[in-house]
Amino acid sequence: DSGVTQTPKHLITATGQRVTLRCSPRSGDLSVYWYQQSLDQGLQFLIQYYNGEERAKGNILERFSAQQFPDLHSELNLSSLELGDSALYFCASSVGGASGGGQETQYFGPGTRLLVL
Amino acid sequence: AQKVTQAQTEISVVEKEDVTLDCVYETRDTTYYLFWYKQPPSGELVFLIRRNSFDEQNEISGRYSWNFQKSTSSFNFTITASQVVDSAVYFCALRTRREHSGGGADGLTFGKGTHLIIQP
């Protein structure tokens, strides 16, 4: 158990809908990262937050957004869902993440499996 | 741009054999970090090891060992005396400091993974 929790574990929804995935980082970790794992694209970095602020952006679609709250939990919002958004979404956390970092180990949650029908 | 290549899509061996998973990376940055993660059938990603670009010492942890060679941009992973429980998808990943674009660091860049099957 990495200490990172994600809810829900599974989510089934229809095209065009909007969903919210939730992540709680390990105790003491300030950085949260979101990744998408799909058969086509593999594991891709979406976005990072550090202590409530966006820190780095990867291949995140404009239909997707995220935020990190004062209690450090994070939510990933996916809207106008398409069939191709079906994937396993991982949240990871690390201790730091301030500028100049990169060396921190990221610990991953169990993932949320999203199926868009 | 940075890239991680795991050329072996799937490897199947019989239990107790040794097996090496290859990882080749590309980056322009001189400071970077390499990782291996394991994804068992249950789906979670389990951290195995982190290696810094300025530390080329190889590492051994039980049946696991890692060979980091900057000259060939490789970070290979060997499992000695494999066991059925080692069956999983193994990912190599790279993270760099943004030396060429304002500092900080991006997320992990993952390879496509190697599916390791250990047969009893």
Q: Do A105 and B105 make contact, defined as CB atoms within 8 angstroms? A: no
- Identify all chain B residues contacting A46, using CB atoms and an 8 Å cutoff: 107
Q: Distance between CA atoms of B36 and B95, rounded to whole angstroms?
A: 12
Asked if B118 contacts B83 with a C-beta cutoff of 8 angstroms, the reply is yes
Q: Do B107 and A56 make contact, defined as CB atoms within 8 angstroms? A: yes
pLDDT at position A75 is 98
Q: Which of B46, B104, B106 comes nearest A45 by C-beta?
A: B106
pLDDT at position A96 is 74
Q: A58, A49, A54, A8: which is closest to A29 by C-alpha? A: A49
Residues A70-80, mean pLDDT to the nearest whole number: 97
Q: Do B109 and A45 make contact, defined as CB atoms within 8 angstroms? A: yes
Q: Flag whether residue A35 sits within 8 Å of chain B, measured between CB atoms.
A: yes
Residues A3-23, mean pLDDT to the nearest whole number: 97
User: How far is the alpha carbon of A14 from chain B, nearest alpha carbon, in Å?
Assistant: 23
Q: Which of B52, B91, B97 comes nearest A43 by C-beta?
A: B91
Q: Distance between CA atoms of A59 and B18, rounded to whole angstroms?
A: 37
pLDDT at position A5 is 97
Q: Which of B31, B45, B108 comes nearest A45 by C-beta?
A: B108
Closest Cα in chain B to A99? B104
Structure token pair of residue B69: 């060679």
Confidence of residue B85 (pLDDT cuts 50, 70, 90): very high
Beta strands in chain A (DSSP E): 5-7, 10-13, 19-24, 31-38, 42-50, 53-57, 64-68, 74-78, 87-94, 107-108, 112-116
Residues B69-83, mean pLDDT to the nearest whole number: 96
Confidence of residue B104 (pLDDT cuts 50, 70, 90): low
Lowest mean pLDDT among A3-7, A72-76, B43-47, B54-58: B54-58
Give A81-93 pLDDT, tens digit per residue. Answer: 999 999 999 999 9
Asked if B73 contacts B53 with a C-beta cutoff of 8 angstroms, the reply is no
pLDDT at B59 over 90: no
Q: Do B113 and A110 make contact, defined as CB atoms within 8 angstroms? A: no
Give A98-115 pLDDT, tens digit per residue. Answer: 554 567 899 999 999 999
